[in-house]
Amino acid sequence: MVVGVGVDIVDVARFERALLRTPRLRQRLFGPSDLRDEAMSASSLAARFAAKEAALKALGGHIESFSWHDIQVEGAVGEPPRLVLSGGTSQRALERDVVSHHLSLSHDAGMAIAFVVMEGAS
């Protein structure tokens, strides 16, 4: 049973300008799983940020005591990306009886998009 669905789209150039303008933003938004590849392109980072926003939407929106590091994206080249939830997002997933989730990322023509589906047991 689908518990929640979320989608988000990010303008890659705008996101890249924000990262350049605010050097600490990269560390504030992305955790170790997100940044396994230090040479990750702006398009890939924008898609991972979109995944965080889409996951928040799929979990129902505002979460108390939330950190951007509570949602990370893992996945080696050639493997599908996976969400890793912790902290407030993990607690919200438990509250909503989420047992699995699905993530799709894409970027093209200067835009990055993420789609998240949260599933429950029933």
pTM value?
0.94
Mean pLDDT, residues 90-103 taken together: 95
| 15: DSSP letter | H
The pLDDT assigned to 44 comes to: 92
Under 8 Å CB-to-CB from 113, ≥6 apart: which residues? 7, 8, 9, 10, 47, 50, 105, 106, 107
Mean pLDDT, residues 87-100 taken together: 95
**Edge-to-edge strand ranges of the sheet holding 98-108:** 2-11, 111-120, 98-108
Please give the domain boundaries of the chain with CATH numbers for all domains. 2-120 (3.90.470.20)
Concatenating the DSSP letter of every residue in 22-62 gives -TTHHHHH--TTTTSSTT--HHHHHHHHHHHHHHHHHTTS-
Please calculate the CA angle 61-64-68 and round it to the nearest 5 degrees. 75
